[in-house]
C-alpha cells in the first residue's frame, strides 16, 4: 500500500513539474518575442536617427561647399 501511495505522489509531482515547465516555456517564448519586437523597434528608431543625421551632414556640406565656391570666386575676381 505504501508503494502505491509513493508512486501516486511521484506521478502527481511529475505531472505538476511538466505543467510548470510548459507554462515556463510559454512565458520564455513570450519574453523572446517581446525582446525581438523591442529590438526591431529600436533598430528602426536608430536607422531613422542615422538617416536624419546623414541628411543634416549632407546639407551642411552643401552649404560649406557653396561658401567655399563663393569665396573662391571672390578671390579670383580680386
CA-CA distances (angstroms) from residue 31 to 26, 27, 38, 52? 9, 6, 10, 31
Q: Residues 4-26: what's their mean pLDDT?
A: 71
Q: What is the pTM assigned to this prediction? A: 0.51
Mean pLDDT of 20-36: 82
- Report domain extents, the chain: 1-78
The pLDDT tens digits of the residues spanning 34-73 come to 999 999 999 999 999 999 999 999 999 999 999 999 998 8
Instruction: Answer yes or no: is pLDDT of 22 > 90.
Output: no
| Cα distances (angstroms) measured from residue 71 to each of 7, 31, 49, 59 | 94, 59, 33, 18
Handedness of CA 37, 41, 44, 46 (dihedral sign): negative
Q: Which three cell numbers stand for residue 24?
A: 515556463
CB atoms within 10 A of CB 61: 10
Amino acid at each position: 500500500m505504501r508503494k502505491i501511495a509513493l508512486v501516486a505522489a511521484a506521478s502527481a509531482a511529475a505531472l505538476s513539474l511538466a505543467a510548470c515547465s510548459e507554462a515556463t516555456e510559454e512565458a520564455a517564448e513570450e519574453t523572446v518575442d517581446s525582446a525581438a519586437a523591442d529590438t526591431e523597434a529600436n533598430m528602426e528608431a536608430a536607422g531613422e536617427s542615422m538617416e536624419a543625421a546623414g541628411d543634416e551632414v549632407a546639407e551642411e556640406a552643401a552649404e560649406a561647399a557653396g561658401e567655399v565656391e563663393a569665396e573662391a570666386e571672390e578671390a579670383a575676381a580680386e
